[in-house]
Every structure is written in structure tokens, then in C-alpha cells.
Chain A
Amino acid sequence: MGTMGLALPWRARISPTPRERGTRVEPSAPFSGGGSSAAMDAQSEDAALAVGCRSGDLRAYERLYAMHGARMKNVARNVLGNPVDAEDVVQETFLKVQRSIASFRGQSSFVTWTYRILINTCYDARRSRLRKREVANDDSEETPRPEPRAPGAHPSLRMALERALAKLSQHQRNVFLLYEVEGFRHAEIAGMLEMTETASKNTLFQAKKNLRQMLEPPRSSGAETR
């Protein structure tokens, strides 16, 4: 698995929590205010994490988990559709980070690098699961296991969205999940999925167009989707 050579600019740091949503629009111009104290803090935090993990300090891994563990698990769960597999993948991601931290050259954010490993590990897990299913000749349709739900969530909308997402291409699904669900920027997604920022924007646009077509009910009840 390739985990090196991310060419993501340092200023595209990943925040440990998703951004506030509302009308989420990214400025087309390069990020302004790169020297702000928040950006500097994020940068130094990221560098400290990388240094700590490189030196084998378990507390650095614990901090990485505390900051990104839940989000990583959510990414994996949405990609794999299974919370148990998601936890396995998060664990495997941490092991891969430990194994390959020496090859991390700091060309990108450490956290972006980690998420890229996570995404690749999700792909590996999916492939492995498909192979096992083929060997077992199990024809049963893969269905995500039910999971405790967040209070106030809308089960029918969630299920409808999950079904529609399952019909998207892997690329469109991943970009949609990373941008709309996890709140990553296109620059960050580009680093994780090894694509350009423009391609990420275009893929998201296509994904949303397709989802809209799939989710759009007949015009007469269109307003009742949510």
C-alpha cells in the first residue's frame, strides 16, 4: 500500500472536528490567513503528533486517537457499512501508521497521511471481505448491521441515503462521505484519495447530482424528503 508522497500543502490542515455546515462553500482562492494563530496551532499540533508517533511514543498515538479516532471510525463505518469491521480497520490503520511512520516525509499533513492510510485500509478490507464471500459462496446480500443511533436522527432518510450511496461509484461515494459527512475540505480529500482538488469538486458535484436523482421522490411529495 502506498502511503508516501502526498503533495498536500501544509496549510491544508485537518481539523479534529468537522466544520460547521450550513451552506458549505469553499473559497476558490488559496486559503487566506495562513499565518493565523489557529492555523499555526494546528500545524504545530500535527507536527508534534508526527514526531511523537515517529519516536514510538504511545501517548502520541493516544492523542491521535482522541482527536480523530471517532471520525476515523465513522469514515470506515460509512465506507464499509459495518461498525465491527470499521473498528478493525481503525486498529489496522494505527498499526500501519506505526509500521510506516519512518517513511513519512512531512510533505503533507500527518493527519491527512493517516486518513489516506485509513481509506486504503478500508479498500483492502472490502476486497478481503469480497474474497471471503466468494470462497464461502455466500449469496446473501451485504447489509449494514444496525447501530445505536444518534438521538433525533431520521431513520428513513438515513436508510434511503445509505441505499442511494451504495449505488454510487466508489469514488463518488468516498468523496461525498468525506466532504459532506465528515466535513473535509477538497484539498484534504485530494490528498487522501490521490486526486486533484478540481477532480474532487467535480466528483462531489456528480455524486450529488446522482444522489438527487435517486432520492428525489415524485414531484407531488418532493418536499417531504426530510
Chain B
Amino acid sequence: MNVTCSDRERIFEDGTPVEWAALEAHAASCPLCAEEVRAWKLLSAAAEELRHYSGSPLLWARIERALTEEAAQKTRRGERWNWFSRLPRFPLGWQTVLAGAFVLLLAISGGWIYIHGPVEPGDNDKSLLRTSALKQVESAETAYERAIDKLAAEAKPQLENPATPLLANYHEKLLVLDSAIADLRAQAGLNPSNAQLRYQLLAVYQEKQRTLEEVLEAKP
């Protein structure tokens, strides 16, 4: 194998044994390459000066003590958490799958309860009515509404043909109250457990009752 001066650095960096032998053969007849090869090898020889494997009789004793202490600490920590090690040990993949399945189960359960579950008012939320109380309120409302309708039927002739401006005002007021009742009933239909809506509805009914009584009292 023939090498030239231009191959020298490449061989220094990553030459095969055959290439090195060829370079040394070339260096025998090339003073420049001979000097370069000599200097290159001298560096390797000089590096040996930095190799000093001094014995350290105490170092192993130190290391052994440190290893023993750390192992003992680890054992103590392990005993503290021993209950945890009793849990079944699954591979990481299975642990991930199980955790994912658990989260999915929680999400599905929560969603199902949110969509299908009965809305039970909490004890501390007084604005929501319990189912039994709601039925009582609705039946009372119906009876109250019928009673007011009877009252309205009595006042109807005067209101349809108001003899005085006062009666005309009462008529308009009753129209507004009827409109408010219709709105509140629609909202209560959407949210039947909302006690606040029921209170507002009751207040409007009471106002309508008072107005009708005043109309009847104002009979000429």
C-alpha cells in the first residue's frame, strides 16, 4: 500500500494498522513525515506520564462504609413503606392502562349522573325543592290559581267595561300581572325545583288577588 504526505493527517485521525505501517514506511524516506510521526507518537508517550495508579488503602474502607450506610438507610426507608410493597406489582404498561381505565370510568360515571341522575337538592341549598315538597307546592299553586280565577271571573264584567279610569288602570295592571305569571310559570316549568321562582310566582299571585279584591271593592 502506498501513502503520500497528503494521507498523513487522515491516517493520524483514523488510520488502520495497515495504513500506519505504510505511513511509517513512507516516513523512512520522507523527513517531514518522519518528524510528524515522531512528534505524534511522542504525545502518546508523554501521556503515560499522567498515568499514575497510586494505591489508596483507605479509600475502599471509606467506600464500603458509605455503601453500607446507604444500604441501611434504604432498608429503613423500605420498611417504612413496606405496606406499599404489598400492593400487587404490575408492569408499567399495565399500570398505565389501569390508570387510564379508572379515569375513563370516572368520566363516564360523572357524565351519566350529570345527564340522567335525579337532581337532588342539597340540604344547604334552600333555593331547591325536594320532590315531595315540589308536588305539594304545585298542588297548592293549582288550588290557589283556581281560587283567583274564580275571583277574576267575578271581576271580569267590570274590567271589560271599566266605568272609571281607576278600573281601567286595574285592568291594565292585571294584564301585566297575567303576563308576569305566564313568564314565571314557563321558567318554573323548566326548573321546577327552584324555590325562588315559586316564591316570585306566589308574590305575583298575591298581588293579582289583592288587585282583584280592590276591583271588586271598587264596584259602583
B-side interface residues toward A, CB under 8 Å?
Answer: 9, 12-17, 20, 39-56, 59-60, 62-64, 66-68, 70-71
Contact = CB atoms under 8 A, between A and B. Distances in A.
9 contacts: A23-B41, A73-B53, A94-B67, A153-B49, A161-B46, A165-B50, A208-B12, A212-B39, A226-B46
Contacts of B15: 25
A139 to B, nearest CB: 27
Q: Which of B46, B64, B71 has the most CB of A within 10 A?
A: B46
Given A61-B63, A91-B66, A154 B44 contact: no
B13 A18 contact: no
Contact of A61 (B13, B48, B52, B67): B67
Contacts, number: 120
A74 B60 contact: no
B interface SS class: helix
A7 interface: no
B46 A177 contact: no
Given A153-B49, A226-B42, A205 B55 contact: no
A169 interface: no
Given A153-B49, A161-B49, 19 more contacts: A25-B17, A58-B64, A58-B67, A61-B63, A71-B53, A73-B53, A74-B50, A87-B62, A91-B66, A95-B66, A95-B67, A95-B70, A180-B47, A181-B50, A205-B13, A208-B12, A211-B43, A216-B39, A222-B39
Given A154-B49, A180-B43, A181-B51, A205 B12 contact: yes
Interface residue range, chain A:
35 or more
Contacts of B71: 56, 98
A130 B123 CA distance: 64
Interface in A65-80: 65, 69-71, 73-74, 77-78
A83 B56 CA distance: 10
A212 B49 contact: no
A62 interface: yes
B50 A158 contact: yes
Interface string A134-174: 00000000000001111001100110011001000000000
B15 to A, nearest CB: 6
Contacts of B63: 61, 65, 90-91, 94
B20 A161 contact: no
B193 to A, nearest CB: 58
